[in-house]
């Protein structure tokens, strides 16, 4: 992975034929042209859990067009670090209830999540839309 600078506060990363572009918000001296690195970290958590949920459903022939995930990080007000993450998996009314716990466990297998410190709680729930 090659990391390089692209003017002002923009930092890019090239790897495997892709370029990930980051910037800082205007309040941080950037142009706000791209997501901040920390936002990409949070997105990687949610999308990682999402691919596990998608694969789980695909293996069982469950349509995923009406399934979505919502992630909400909670921060320690003193240390300004994440102490908890709530992840809600919104499923349609016809999602088989027998899979609720299994899809929660599947989302919790996310490789990005498994690399977090063990004291960060990751709360996953299913909610019918």
pLDDT in tens, 31-73: 999 999 999 999 999 999 999 999 999 999 999 999 999 999 9
From the list 97, 99, 122, 127, the residue with the least C-alpha distance to 111 is 122
128 strand-pairing partners: 91
- Say yes or no: 65 and 5 in one domain: no
- Say yes or no: 77 and 94 in one domain: yes
- Say yes or no: 18 and 66 in one domain: no
User: In whole angstroms, how far apart are CA 52 and each of 26, 31, 34?
Assistant: 35, 34, 26
Residue 13 belongs to what domain range?
Answer: 1-35
- Say yes or no: 6 and 45 in one domain: no
CATH number of domain containing 42: 3.30.300.20
- Say yes or no: 87 and 44 in one domain: yes
Spatial separation of the C-alpha atoms in residues 26 and 56, rounded to whole Å: 40
Dig out the tokens for 118 from the structure: 């063990």
Checking if the pLDDT of 118 tops 90, the result is: no
DSSP state of 88: E
- Say yes or no: 66 and 28 in one domain: no
Domain count, the chain: 2
Checking if the pLDDT of 119 tops 80, the result is: no
- Say yes or no: 59 and 26 in one domain: no
């Amino acid at each position: 992975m090659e990391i390089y600078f692209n003017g002002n506060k923009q930092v890019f990363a090239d790897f495997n034929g892709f370029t990930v572009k980051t910037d800082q918000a205007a309040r941080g001296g950037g142009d706000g042209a791209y997501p901040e690195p920390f936002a990409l970290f949070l997105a990687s958590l949610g999308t990682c859990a999402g691919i596990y949920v998608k694969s789980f459903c695909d293996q069982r022939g469950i349509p995923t067009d009406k399934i979505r995930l919502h992630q909400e990080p909670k921060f320690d007000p003193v240390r300004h670090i994440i102490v908890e993450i709530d992840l809600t998996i919104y499923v349609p009314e016809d999602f088989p209830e027998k899979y609720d716990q299994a899809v929660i466990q599947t989302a919790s297998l996310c490789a990005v999540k498994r690399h977090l410190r063990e004291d960060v709680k990751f709360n996953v729930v299913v909610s019918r839309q």
